[in-house]
Amino acid sequence: MSSHYEAPIREPLVLGEKSYHDISVDVGAPVLGKASKSWWIVFTIALVAFLWGLGCIIYTISTGIGVWGLNKTIGWAWDITNFVWWVGIGHAGTLISAVLLLFRQKWRMAVNRSAEAMTIFAVVQAGLFPIIHMGRPWLAYWVLPIPNQFGSLWVNFNSPLLWDVFAISTYLSVSLVFWWTGLLPDFAMIRDRTTSPFQKKIYGILSFGWSGRVKDWQRFEEVSLVLAGLATPLVLSVHTIVSFDFATSVVPGWHSTIYPPYFVAGAIFSGFAMVQTLLIIMRKVSNLEAYITVLHIEYMNKVILLTGGIVTVAYITEYFIGWYSGVPYENYTYLSFGAATGPYWWAFWALIICNLIVPLTLWVKKLRRNIVWTFIVALIINIGMWFERFDIIVIDLSKDRLTSSWTMFQPTFVDIGTFMGTIGFFFVLFLLYARTFPVIAQAEVKTILKSSGESFKRLRAEHGDDHSHTQTVEAYPADAGPAANVEDKHFDSPFDSTQDDVENNEVDFEAHRGKIDNLLSGVGTFDPEMQTQDDLKRINGVGPVMEMKLHQLGIFTFEQVSRMTDREYDLLDEIISDFPGRAKRDDWAGQALILKNNN
């Protein structure tokens, strides 16, 4: 039997007393439940922003790029800034799923699905900008090497802009199949759990008929590993090639050999900041705090610290070498004394403060593990990394070689609207994803449950590393055949608290008459004429047996459970002595309140 040992010093990655079934339930809940009010509010805001951006794009295309704030000196501004910003954000997902897979980092499993989704949605936003910038987007296919009516004049394979076409389309499509292949078992789980025939059909199609055969899993793991091996150099190549757009030019400040590694580090830096922004909200809204823990947030903060450090070194190098060269042009580049004190001083200092100074607070462990502070830092980094690209593009262009053409850039409402529109579009996609996709790679999390789950770690601490990890599952009503798995005969249950004999489940009414009345007076009675009963098993910690006992006591609805306080919990423990403290520990009342509101 394989060992599930993991060094006790490592903190658990899955909190609470989770079984495999609990993971399915928790990951399936946002998909199978109903959307909350706050989801609809945020979705509406995002949709309005998206539609506003769409209007700006239509206005741009129908009128011409003159509606942007570009001028004769600054021919690239917000469009390419936004393009590079979004591509950069799109780097964290593949980094998490590919590089961390190669390094066998278990913590990636809880965050990779959402990070990859974010990657794909961000690259979609990025791709919009070059297409809009073409002015005639219906001719976008001209970037492809296809025979044409101009005597087959081919695309220019010497141009970094064409490399971009290949790099980004390869990146988008490979990320997509990587993501989807990982999703198949999780879609299958939703397909097999849902009770709605419509959902069963949809998730049946999405899961490609995944059955979970042992050979399929063998191939699945190999494919994941090889895709990770391919995606790792791919993710590094994409931002390298994006940096070539600048580095192969002759504009001072752009023409820099440091760009490829510096851009890649910056991309991962901004990508992780966006992952933090999204996941800190999602773990709360979708009740996934047991899977995306403070430890995950701390790990990501450490990646931010590392890549932020690389970016800092790159900034300082650029600044120093520019000054040390003594070339006067270098004093007009985005990292120079001239930039720090010139008309764009605010953009320069926004870059320095947001990307260099604020992330330094993450060296403090307390702050690194503080969720609110992490969220603030992540937002600041997102802003700072936008300014980095703005500075590189606009500051470097604003003072070109002819002093007579020096000028500044003034964005129009179309520039701003298009950018806001892509943010709206991004959130529209992400919010739809959060409601319809299994947002955690549950099949993968199940593989680390025994090594990194809190309850199993405690088990090893109490009973030694060789203790049996065999888990019992609360029996479903058997479909067919005899039940043979008799406890204590074939295996030992690791959890003493759940060892009660399933058959012995009658509540002793006579002994507890007074207490039951007392309990019902607290939570209210159930009137079968007026109310319908809820599926209490949806409360985490309530299985079929517990539900039956609650029914015997007269508790049938989430509303009744949600009224439970400490007094009712104590009464419940006295009447049903099987799981002392369980109801309080799992916060049944809080869970029931959420379920009630979602119904």
Partner 1 sequence: MASKKIHAIYTDDDLLLQAVKQTRAANYHISEVFTPFPVHGLDHAVGLAPTRIAITAFIYGLIGLGVAVAMMNYMMIDDWPQNIGGKPSFTYYQNMPAFIPIMFELTVFFAAHLMVVTFYMRSKIWPFKKAENPDVRTTDDHFLMEVDVENHDVEKLTKFLYDTGASEISLIQNEQDH
For the segment 186-225, give every residue that binds partner 1 (CB under 8 A): 188-189, 191-193, 204-223, 225
399 vs 450 by CB, closer to partner 1: 450
> Residue 408 and residue 239: Cα distance in Å, rounded?
27
> Residue 13 and residue 8: Cα distance in Å, rounded?
12
Beta carbon of residue 136, minimum distance to partner 1 (angstroms, whole number):
23
Does 514 engage in binding with partner 1 (CB under 8 A)?
no
- 183 and 210 Cβ atoms separated by less than 8 Å: no
Beta carbon of residue 468, minimum distance to partner 1 (angstroms, whole number):
8
Beta carbon of residue 296, minimum distance to partner 1 (angstroms, whole number):
20
- Residue among 35, 58, 139, 226 that touches partner 1 (CB under 8 A): 226
Beta carbon of residue 14, minimum distance to partner 1 (angstroms, whole number):
13
- Residue among 5, 40, 154, 320 that touches partner 1 (CB under 8 A): 154
Q: Does residue 491 sit in helix, strand or coil? A: strand
- Residue among 47, 61, 65, 162 that touches partner 1 (CB under 8 A): 162
> Residue 547 and residue 543: Cα distance in Å, rounded?
6
> Residue 313 and residue 309: Cα distance in Å, rounded?
6
> Residue 263 and residue 243: Cα distance in Å, rounded?
6
Binding mask 424-443 for partner 1 (x = CB under 8 A): -------------------x
Choose the binding region for partner 1 from 111-119, 149-157, 296-304, 392-400 (rule: CB under 8 A): 149-157
Token readout for 529 is 């004429």
Nearest residue to 571 (alpha-carbon basis) of 586, 553, 556, 558: 553
56 vs 109 by CB, closer to partner 1: 109
- 133 and 65 Cβ atoms separated by less than 8 Å: yes
Beta carbon of residue 138, minimum distance to partner 1 (angstroms, whole number):
24
What single DSSP character describes residue 142?
G
- Residue among 62, 149, 158, 504 that touches partner 1 (CB under 8 A): 158
- Residue among 63, 447, 499, 525 that touches partner 1 (CB under 8 A): 447
Amino acid in the structure at residue 439? V
Beta carbon of residue 237, minimum distance to partner 1 (angstroms, whole number):
6
Choose the binding region for partner 1 from 51-59, 158-166, 366-374, 523-531 (rule: CB under 8 A): 158-166
Does 135 engage in binding with partner 1 (CB under 8 A)?
no
Does 463 engage in binding with partner 1 (CB under 8 A)?
no
Query: How many alpha carbons fall within 13 Å on the CB side of residue 265?
Result: 17
> C-alpha distances in angstroms, 78 versus 27, 59, 162, 339?
39, 16, 20, 19
Beta carbon of residue 442, minimum distance to partner 1 (angstroms, whole number):
8
- Residue among 19, 94, 125, 557 that touches partner 1 (CB under 8 A): 19
Beta carbon of residue 453, minimum distance to partner 1 (angstroms, whole number):
13
Token readout for 491 is 């295996």
Does 39 engage in binding with partner 1 (CB under 8 A)?
no
| Residues between 320 and 359 with contacts to partner 1, criterion CB under 8 A | none
Which run of H or E residues covers position 41?
helix 37-63
Query: How many residues are present in the chain?
Result: 599
Choose the binding region for partner 1 from 287-295, 318-326, 401-409, 462-470 (rule: CB under 8 A): 462-470
Beta carbon of residue 478, minimum distance to partner 1 (angstroms, whole number):
6
- 82 and 419 Cβ atoms separated by less than 8 Å: yes
- Residue among 233, 320, 363, 364 that touches partner 1 (CB under 8 A): 233
Beta carbon of residue 368, minimum distance to partner 1 (angstroms, whole number):
31
Query: How many alpha carbons fall within 13 Å on the CB side of residue 329?
Result: 11
- Residue among 110, 227, 392, 414 that touches partner 1 (CB under 8 A): 227
Beta carbon of residue 21, minimum distance to partner 1 (angstroms, whole number):
4
210 vs 246 by CB, closer to partner 1: 210
Does 166 engage in binding with partner 1 (CB under 8 A)?
yes
- 572 and 583 Cβ atoms separated by less than 8 Å: yes
Nearest residue to 467 (alpha-carbon basis) of 486, 491, 490: 491
> Residue 135 and residue 130: Cα distance in Å, rounded?
9
> Residue 533 and residue 599: Cα distance in Å, rounded?
12
Does 185 engage in binding with partner 1 (CB under 8 A)?
yes
Binding mask 473-492 for partner 1 (x = CB under 8 A): x-xx-xxxxxxxx----xx-
- Kindly compute the dihedral angle of the four CA atoms of residues 273, 279, 285, 286, in this order, to the nearest 10 degrees: 170
Does 152 engage in binding with partner 1 (CB under 8 A)?
yes
- 450 and 4 Cβ atoms separated by less than 8 Å: yes
Beta carbon of residue 465, minimum distance to partner 1 (angstroms, whole number):
14
Phi and psi at residue 453, to the nearest 5°: -75, 145
